[in-house]
Homo-oligomer: A and B are copies of this chain.
Amino acid sequence: MASLLENEVFMAYTTYAAVVTLKMMLMGPMTSYFRITRSSFSNEEDVLGKSPEEKKKCMKSHPDVERVKRCHQNDLENVIPFVVIGLLYAATSPELSSALLHFRLFAGARIFHTIAYICVLPQPSRALSWMLGMLVTFSMAYNVLTAAAYF
């Protein structure tokens, strides 16, 4: 199995898959941060020891928390397909330069997407970075299905 890491395409996949997965995971602590600073929780047990009035206030949703959650959800919907399709793509032995182009474009697009979402950059910045990420994954899927279609 060690031989996988002697394959440069697989090493590049490993690196970029780890990077975008870590980026996605960081949305979790970021949600916690916004929940605490904006005092907006979803679970009764998270606001114990407060007065009933304060409790009710803390159980309301806050626009900033909802925004981070939408960004996290968008990551789940886009980063995970990239990780899946990317692994299948790496297994089709593509050119290293072509693989790196796909991986770098996707990682860049998703990091920019998060910045555009959280910092509320004007549209169409968020829409374009989302589309670029999708196109990269579709391009890899096209390569996978032409190399290994077996229905």
What residues of chain A have their CB less than 8 Å away from a CB belonging to chain B? 1-5, 7-8, 10-12, 14-15, 17-19, 21-22, 24-25, 27-29, 42-46, 48, 66-67, 70, 72, 76-78, 80-81, 83-85, 88, 90-93, 120-123, 126, 130, 134, 137-138, 141, 144-145, 147-151
Of A3, A11, A120, A151, most B-chain CB atoms within 10 Å: A151
Interface of A is mostly: helix
Cα distance A42–B74 when bound, in Å? 13
- Residues from chain B with a CB closer than 8 A to the CB of A147 are 5
Do residues A141 and B45 form an inter-chain contact, with CB atoms below 8 A? no
- Residues from chain B with a CB closer than 8 A to the CB of A1 are 3-4, 7, 10, 90-91, 93
Given the known A-B contacts A10-B1, A28-B134, A148-B5, are A43 and B18 also in contact in the complex, defined by CB atoms under 8 Å? no
- Residues from chain B with a CB closer than 8 A to the CB of A90 are 1
Given the known A-B contacts A120-B45, A123-B46, are A88 and B150 also in contact in the complex, defined by CB atoms under 8 Å? no
Do residues B148 and A11 form an inter-chain contact, with CB atoms below 8 A? yes
Q: Which one, B5, B22, B120, B145, contacts A141 given CB within 8 A?
A: B22
